[in-house]
Amino acid sequence: MSKAKWTWLASLLLAASAVAYVSWIPPHAVLTQAHPLNATHFSAYVNNTTVYIAQVGLSFYGSSAEAQAVMQYLYSQCRYVAVDVHDVLKTARGTLWLADVYCSRDGSMWLWLRWLPLRFTAYSGYIQFVNATNATVITPVGAFVNYIPAGWYLDPSTKAVFKIPEANITLLAHIASLSAQLKALKAELDKSKANASQAASLIARLEAQLTALEAQRRALEEALRQRESEVTALQANLRAAQAENDRLKSQLAQLKTENDNLKTQLASMNQTLAGLNDQLTTLKTQLAVQLSTSEEAGVNPLMYALFAALAGVAAAFVIYRKKKAEE
């Protein structure tokens, strides 16, 4: 345990050991619906009969103004009333309970009416005080340390109800101290358990996050591998396309060369065709002249030679046109 935690625990134990006792009622006291009648008497309605209750050992010798102040105080303090009856008397006015009367404003502490002389000087009554070293009590008429009025008290830490001076204050203080230490240790243990639970919960959340991040990492690595495969395939396709492009470029250059050769051949053939046309025209002219002469002079053997030449030129022209059409 760290030094800070030990300091905190020590301060908590010190504070717990300093818890004051609270004025209380005896366990055998009975709650009753009683109301202040005057400075020393209460009245209650029990079994269809009015009962008067007087605090044993208490007398009032004040003025009417002091009595009025006392009544206001009692009305404010005595919302709840408990009695410990010592004797029952039959009087001319009715039944009288001689008792110890206890009043409480809200049930958090109780006022024993025997203590009223500590609050108002108009009261008279014997109040016993007891030496109680290191003890503190809190009552509606004040707080007392080491020297406390006799009566019934409650230990808030242990919920024990005891009577002073009959109770062993030293033993009660020791029990209260031990109870406070146990309570403080239990609080520290609960806090440690809560911290451990929070730590375990945090570890579980971090492990879940780590698992999720690991799954994301694997998914990203798989996506990266697929992307690399796609890039490799695209690069291969690109190289194949580049190779096909180079092949087509080479083929195009070859076709251009062949086209240029064909153009040269075509030009040469066009020249040949022009020469054949010229020859054909010349032969046609000669043939026409020879026919005219033959009609006048009869058949001339030269005419047959012209026909043969004309036929040869015509055949050469037909062959040339056929080749040109094939190209």
Q: What's the predicted TM-score (pTM) here?
A: 0.52
pLDDT-derived band of residue 294, with 50, 70 and 90 as boundaries?
low
Whether residue 106 has pLDDT greater than 80: yes
- Pair 74, 58: CB distance under 8 Å: no
Q: What is the pLDDT of residue 183?
A: 78
Taking the C-alpha atoms of residue 37 and residue 53, their distance in angstroms, rounded to an integer, is: 9
Query: Who wins on pLDDT, 185 or 96?
Result: 96
Query: Who wins on pLDDT, 89 or 289?
Result: 89
Pairing of strands 129-139, 41-46: unpaired
Taking the C-alpha atoms of residue 174 and residue 155, their distance in angstroms, rounded to an integer, is: 12
pLDDT-derived band of residue 99, with 50, 70 and 90 as boundaries?
very high
pLDDT in tens, 170-192: 556 556 666 667 778 888 888 88
Whether residue 151 has pLDDT greater than 90: yes
Whether residue 317 has pLDDT greater than 70: no
pLDDT in tens, 32-49: 999 999 999 999 999 899
pLDDT-derived band of residue 150, with 50, 70 and 90 as boundaries?
very high
Q: What is the pLDDT of residue 128?
A: 96
Helix (H, G, I), strand (E, B) or coil at 168: coil
**Angle of CA points 303, 306, 311, to nearest 5°:** 130
Domain 15-167: which topology? OB fold (Dihydrolipoamide Acetyltransferase, E2P) (2.40.50)
DSSP 202-236: HHHHHHHHHHHHHHHHHHHHHHHHHHHHHHHHHHH
Taking the C-alpha atoms of residue 295 and residue 281, their distance in angstroms, rounded to an integer, is: 21
Residues 52-70 have a mean pLDDT of 97
Taking the C-alpha atoms of residue 57 and residue 42, their distance in angstroms, rounded to an integer, is: 15
Q: What is the pLDDT of residue 312?
A: 72
